[in-house]
Chains A and B, each alone.
Chain A
Amino acid sequence: MHIKVDADRCIGNGMCAALAPEHFEVSNDGDLTVLQEVVADSDVVPVQGAVLSCPAAAITVVE
């Protein structure tokens, strides 16, 4: 599985970086960097948490 981010939707509020810091980093100005696109089985729970906690619905996890 890997992470896809819709940059146009992202509002940079940083929830993803808080919940899955191995995968997401957000700057003070709200610019998002995906640190690791591939989601290991052991990371599915935090990454799914980031998906559900993204207020902009900007993150999806695809097979």
Chain B
Amino acid sequence: MSTHSKRSDPIVIVGGSLAGVRAAQALRLRGHDGEVVMISDEVEVGYDRPPLSKAVLTGQIAPEDTFLVGEEALAKLDLQLLRGQAAQSLDIAGKRVHVGGSTVAYDKLLIATGSRARRLPLGRNLGNILTLRTLDDARAVHKLLQEKPRVVIAGFGFIGCEVAASLSELGIPVTIVDTDVSPLAQFGSGFREAITSQHRSHGVDMRFGVGITNVYGVRDIERVELTDGTFLECDLLLMGVGSVPNVEWLGSSGLRINDGLVCDATLKADKNIYGAGDVASWVNPVFGRRMRVEHWTNASEQAQTAARNMLASQGGEPYRGLPYFWSVQYGRRFQYLGDLVAFDQTLWLEAADGSSTAIGLCGKEGVLVGVTGIDSVAIVMGLRAQIASRCGWGQAIKLVQEKYPYLRPQERIQGE
């Protein structure tokens, strides 16, 4: 609740995607009845990205059905919404954001400008070289798919994998290339092998350890050339090569930028300024290290913590969320939870009952820091408390084996 008795400047949220919308909702849920301004560079505010690589591509969901909040619910939030207007710069001393030709003054500011898809510097003048990040991207890809194109995907990450699975469902042949000889290896070999074998059995042509050196075409892309000298015929090149945080507009602000907006454990970047979502880097007290997470749940939960901290009269709670990711490919559920950067121990367990359930425990310095899972929703979620409380490695294995006796440790994991 606002403690200002006089009329104060509004809370300003820069960013109209998941983190921005969730922050606005959380402010209202917590009873903030003051003015809230949302500045969004996109005209379509508050749509949801996860379906874009899955159900929207396969046509199961219309793009209009991906909204986190409908127009009616959005109106109820009573925001002053500046659509299709990018914040250009931030003046901390003057407590205002420059947008277009005007300025917006703030009492508190939430920076939730997210990230954008990275593009390889190839074929700038050719059509049908796309990324998949925005609703318009999804519309463009979906439209092209109606012509059953030959598709090459650059990057065997989760976007690439999900698109490949969606295209397989549609009977569209796809080739994925990745410069890494062993992409997804950071998730452990059991998890990685489970994903690659799914794609293999569905006929996806996977080429690892090769990159794209050149692209050819007259108007639209027609052919790609790989680093091993191979040429692939191609009507659509989709780049799934990661994303970059949208921080350029903060360049002259004086805020610290280092792989995103640098925030403290409570998501505070400076006096009266907070960050949330893909753009924000913060120190997660659970793991004692700085991280920046580009996943859905992180954006949603960080925004709620940031909103709470913006309204707190003093101090603020640290954000202790566990990085969490899920993916659906070929009807199977892949998940990970926790800090999977640089774990030093791993144990892969598979169900002995013939089901597809399998999990990978990941440990660092004798502590359970993360878990990966395939068709293991209940097990993965069941380990949240253990990861958050830094359960010992031996104790975690014991607990899993007692609770899920049908899971058998796999002593040897077959690599590629």
Which residues of A approach B to under 8 Å, CB–CB? 11-15, 17-18, 25-30, 48-49, 52-53, 55, 57
Q: Does residue B377 face the partner (Cβ distance < 8 Å to A)?
A: yes
B166 within 8 A of A: no
User: B: which residues have CB within 8 A of A?
Assistant: 22, 25-26, 29, 48, 50, 68, 296-297, 300-301, 304, 324, 326, 328, 333, 335, 355, 357, 375-381, 384
Q: Is the CB of A26 within 8 A of B375?
A: no
Partner of A27, one of B22, B324, B377, B384: B377
- B29–A48 contact, CB under 8 A? yes
Instruction: Contact check, A28 vs B297: say whether CB atoms are below 8 A apart.
Output: no
> Cβ of B301 and Cβ of A14 under 8 Å apart?
no
- Are A13 and B68 in touch, CB under 8 angstroms? no
Q: Interface residues of B: mostly helix, strand, loop or mixed?
A: helix
The reply to whether A15 and B297 form a contact with Cβ atoms under 8 Å apart is yes
Question: Are B377 and A28 in contact (CB-based, < 8 A)?
Answer: yes
User: How many Å from the CB of B395 to the closest CB on chain A?
Assistant: 20
For A49, list chain B residues within 8 Å (CB): 304
Contacts of A15 in B (CB 8 A): 297, 324, 381
Ranked 4 nearest A-B pairs via Cβ = A14-B377, A14-B381, A18-B381, A13-B326
4 more A-B residue pairs beyond the given contacts A29-B377, A57-B48, with a C-beta to C-beta distance below 8 A: A14-B378, A29-B333, A30-B375, A53-B301
A-side contacts of B48, CB under 8 Å:
55, 57
Q: B29 touching A28 by the CB < 8 A rule?
A: no
Query: Bound state CA distance, A18 and B297, in angstroms?
Result: 12
Chain A residues in 8 Å Cβ range of B355: 28
Q: Is the CB of A53 within 8 A of B297?
A: yes
B25, B300, B333: the one within 8 Å of A13 (CB): B333
A17 near B378 (CB under 8 angstroms)? yes
Tell me which residues across on chain B come within 8 A of A57, comparing CB atoms. 48, 68
- Interface pairs (5), CB distance under 8 Å: A13-B377, A14-B377, A17-B377, A52-B22, A52-B300
Let me know if A11 and B381 touch, CB within 8 A: no
Distance A13 CA – B295 CA, assembled complex (angstroms): 13
Collect the chain B residues with CB atoms within 8 Å of residue A13's CB.
Answer: 326, 333, 335, 377
Closest to B296 in A: A55
Cα distance A53–B48 when bound, in Å? 12
Assembly CA distance A28 to B297 (angstroms): 19
* Measured CA separation A14–B380 after assembly (Å): 9
B378 partner residues in chain A, CB cutoff 8 A: 14, 17, 25-28
The residues of A that contact B377 with a CB separation of less than 8 Å are 12-14, 17, 26-30
Kindly report which residue of chain A lies nearest to residue B60, judged by CB atoms.
Answer: A8
Q: What CA separation (Å) do A18 and B322 show in the bound complex?
A: 12
Interface centre among B25, B29, B355 (most CB of A within 10 A): B29
In the complex, which of the residues B29, B301, B328, B384 contacts A11, with contact meaning CB atoms closer than 8 Å?
B328
Minimum CB distance partner of A11 in chain B: B328
Q: Find chain B residues with CB under 8 A from A53 CB.
A: 297, 300-301
Contacts of A18 in B (CB 8 A): 381, 384
Minimum distance in angstroms from A33 CB to a CB of chain B: 11
Separation of A27 and B324 alpha carbons in the complex (Å): 18
Cβ B357 vs Cβ A28 within 8 A: yes
Query: What residues of chain A lie closer than 8 Å to B304, measured between beta carbons?
Result: 49, 52
In contact, A17 and B333 (Cβ under 8 angstroms) = no
A55 to B48, CA, bound (A): 8
Cα separation A30 to B384 with both chains bound (whole Å): 17
Residues on B with beta carbons closer than 8 Å to the beta carbon of A52: 22, 25-26, 300, 304
Of all chain A residues, the one with the shortest Cβ separation from B66 is: A57
Q: Tell me the minimal C-beta distance from A39 to chain B in angstroms.
A: 14
Closest to A48 in B: B29
For residue B379, which residues in chain A have a CB less than 8 angstroms away from its CB? 28
Q: A26-B381, A30-B377, A57-B48 in contact; A12/B296 too (CB < 8 A)?
A: no
Considering only CB atoms, which chain B residue lies closest to A57 in the complex? B68
Q: Which residues of B contact A55 (CB under 8 A)?
A: 48, 50, 296-297, 300, 326
